[in-house]
Amino acid sequence: MRIGTSLALVDLDRQLPNRNQRECLYWWDELFEWIAAAGFSYIELPYQPKWDFGGRSGIPLSMRSIAVKDGDVAGFLTRLRGHGLAGISAVHLDPSLFFSSQLDRYFGAFEHFAMEALELAALSGAGTLTLTATPCVGDLRAAWPDSFLERTAALFSRMQAAAAPRNVRICLRNECWGLLAGEAAIPFLEGLHPEIRLDLDTAHLQISGVESAGFLRSHASRIGIVHLTDTRHRMTPGEEPGWIPEHPRSAATSMFRDVGTGDVDLVDFVDAMKETGFDGDVILDSRHAADVCRALLRMRRFALRHFEPLLAKPQESAGTAIDGRHAADALVAPATPSRKEA
């Protein structure tokens, strides 16, 4: 079992003060230091190729970004280790970005970028590639062919065939706003290759009306990886998710809360993990945290109570000095001093 935290912690979609920092390599170097200082050795990487299209390679969430800034995955891992992290335990791709009424284009893009994400998972030694199974249900109403889930299943099968020889497990994520929310994922999963497992996300289950500890006790053999996430939200009956599903239409709210600040019974869930002998990877995930450092410390507090032997001791890292890897930076003066110099 490896304890990690997800880079989904970082909200890149909202223009809140100081968001501009998050497009710069230096900020991610600092984040990696903070994550290590919070006691986490591993990260989950949300695979987000959309940043490729604006040349935002400072955001290390795609193979292109890694190639531009670090040369290759090995270079990226070296960089992570230089900041006190051991590596990447999981990669997650959500294909909702590609969704439109042109389903051939959706499935084509889904598989193309899933293969990129698989490449990253395989080369980095991440044991798991999680794929979000379906976009938001609200999106699908406009383009709802009966074949949608059949095509999704076929794609998962192809990904499984590609992943298995590379020692990567394919997991399915069933968000609360998708077609396979809650218990609906199980019959779909049973129709897939037996090595494909579920990525159990505690908050998504609870929002779907399913108690996550009980779900784990019932389906432990089908769970490949666990996301400990938190929420205070419940879907109201008949509520239709909006296009930005984590911001429900019913009222302005943030669907996800920092781990330990919602009302998911994560203590019972951890007990369920022990009872069932679950020993897969665990990701503590404070998605789109309002305050990244606060969220990391909250997750550390939770992890200290439940996973202390598995937490890393904060290590001396190589520091955050920019080493001039970006050729253009070196040619313009004055340079911004590194944190060590400042």
Partner 1 sequence: MENIRLSHMNHWKTIPYRTTPNFRDYFYEERSNLAYYSDWDRILRYHAATGYDGIEVAPWDLREMMALFGSPQAFSDFAAERGVAVSGMFHGAEGSHDPARREEVIAAGREAVDQIVAFGGRHMNMCPASNYYGVGPLSREAVATAADTISEIGRYATDHGVQIGLHNEFFCAINRENHHEFIALTDPRHVFYCLDTAQVALIGENILEFYERYHERICTLHLKDTAEAALPDAVRYAQDVEIRDDGHRWFWEPGEGTLDLEGLWRLMKKHAFKGWVTVETDGTPDLLASMALSSYHVKQVLGKIYR
242 Cβ contact list (under 8 Å, min separation 6) = 136, 138, 248, 249
CB of residue 270 to partner 1, shortest distance in Å: 25
| Tokens, residue 332 | 């313009």
| Tokens, residue 127 | 């044991």
SS3 198: strand
Q: Which helix (H) or strand (E) holds 215?
A: helix 212-219
CB of residue 247 to partner 1, shortest distance in Å: 4
Q: For partner 1, which is the closer residue by CB, 153 or 255?
A: 255
Closest-CA residue to 90 (of 201, 254, 177): 201
| Tokens, residue 129 | 């590639």
CB 321 within 8 A of CB 340: yes
CB of residue 250 to partner 1, shortest distance in Å: 9
Closest-CA residue to 174 (of 216, 132, 128): 132
Separation CA 116–CA 182 (nearest Å): 28
| Tokens, residue 238 | 């008949």
Q: For partner 1, which is the closer residue by CB, 89 or 132?
A: 132
CB of residue 128 to partner 1, shortest distance in Å: 28
CB of residue 50 to partner 1, shortest distance in Å: 9
Separation CA 151–CA 157 (nearest Å): 10
Q: For partner 1, which is the closer residue by CB, 69 or 169?
A: 69
DSSP state letter for 66: H
Strands 223-228 and 230-231: unpaired
Burial 298-318 (b: 16+ CB within 10 A, else e): bbbebbeebbeeebbeeeebe
CB of residue 139 to partner 1, shortest distance in Å: 9
CB of residue 97 to partner 1, shortest distance in Å: 9
Q: Which helix (H) or strand (E) holds 108?
A: helix 103-124
Q: For partner 1, which is the closer residue by CB, 125 or 138?
A: 138
Closest-CA residue to 131 (of 109, 103, 100): 109
Q: For partner 1, which is the closer residue by CB, 100 or 147?
A: 100
**Backbone angles phi and psi of 145, in degrees to 5:** -90, 155
With 0-12 CB in 10 A as exposed, 13-18 as middle and 19+ as buried, what is 242?
middle
CB of residue 239 to partner 1, shortest distance in Å: 15
Q: For partner 1, which is the closer residue by CB, 186 or 297?
A: 297
Q: For partner 1, which is the closer residue by CB, 10 or 196?
A: 10
CB of residue 149 to partner 1, shortest distance in Å: 23
Q: For partner 1, which is the closer residue by CB, 167 or 253?
A: 253
Q: Which residues contribute to the site for partner 1 (CB under 8 A)?
A: 13-21, 23-27, 54-58, 68-69, 242-244, 247, 251-254, 290-291, 322, 325-329, 331-332, 335-336, 338
Q: For partner 1, which is the closer residue by CB, 56 or 92?
A: 56
